[in-house]
Amino acid sequence: MIPGEPIVPGDPIDEYLRANRDAYTRDALTRRLVEGGHDPAAVDAAWARIDAADGETRRPGQPAGRPGLGTFLLIGAAVVGYGYVAALGVFGILFMAYYGSSGSRPVPTILIAVYVIAMVVGLAYAVRRLYRAPSRAAGGWAFGPAIAISVVVLAGINGACIAGVLAAGALKAL
């Protein structure tokens, strides 16, 4: 294979390197492949193909594997978006708890804890995917589903709170 040649789908060396390059160093992956019986020239050619493909997704002068300004802006938007949605969720739960039943309120506390944990996990997932994405488009595709899941969790928990308030109100009416 000629270095710089397009990546061939299904090439086991290319697939192995692309799957593991974020977790291990280039030297460790190269050493593992050579020790596994692959030709060092074939491994070098695979690295050249991967580097060439990466060069197409980043601007000139930006080092491989380093996120650019757009990535950091998306991460900032994720943090602000998650903070906004989390605040809406917590305030919604508190509002429903205040106007719901009287007395001890362990359920709203549990719901808030579950919701905050879900939001932190979702934010960590989104930020990690954004930081590791090879392009802004791939980062956006990582961010979209994560925020959508968080909004669904928000709607579900708030729906449970509304159902609880209505049920408590119905019981008081009897």
Q: What is the pLDDT of residue 134?
A: 62
Q: What is the pLDDT of residue 173?
A: 61
> Which of 18-22, 70-74, 135-139, 165-169 is predicted least confidently?
135-139
Nearest Cα to 40, choosing from 63, 72, 13, 58?
13
The string of pLDDT tens digits covering residues 98-119 is 766 555 567 777 778 888 888 8
Q: What contacts 170, CB < 8 A, 6 or more positions away?
A: none
Q: What is the pLDDT of residue 7?
A: 47
* Euclidean distance between the first and the last CA atom of the chain, given in angstroms as a whole number: 80
CA pair distance 58, 71, nearest whole angstrom: 12
Q: What contacts 143, CB < 8 A, 6 or more positions away?
A: 74, 78, 126, 129, 130
> Which of 3-12, 31-40, 87-96, 121-130 is predicted least confidently?
3-12
Model confidence at 10: pLDDT above 60:
yes
Model confidence at 147: pLDDT above 80:
no
Which range of 85-89, 102-106, 149-153, 167-171 scores highest in mean pLDDT? It is 85-89
Whether this model's pTM surpasses 0.85: no
Q: Which two tokens stand for residue 63?
A: 């080092």
The string of pLDDT tens digits covering residues 86-95 is 888 788 777 7
CA distances from 125 to 50, 133, 149 (A): 25, 12, 11
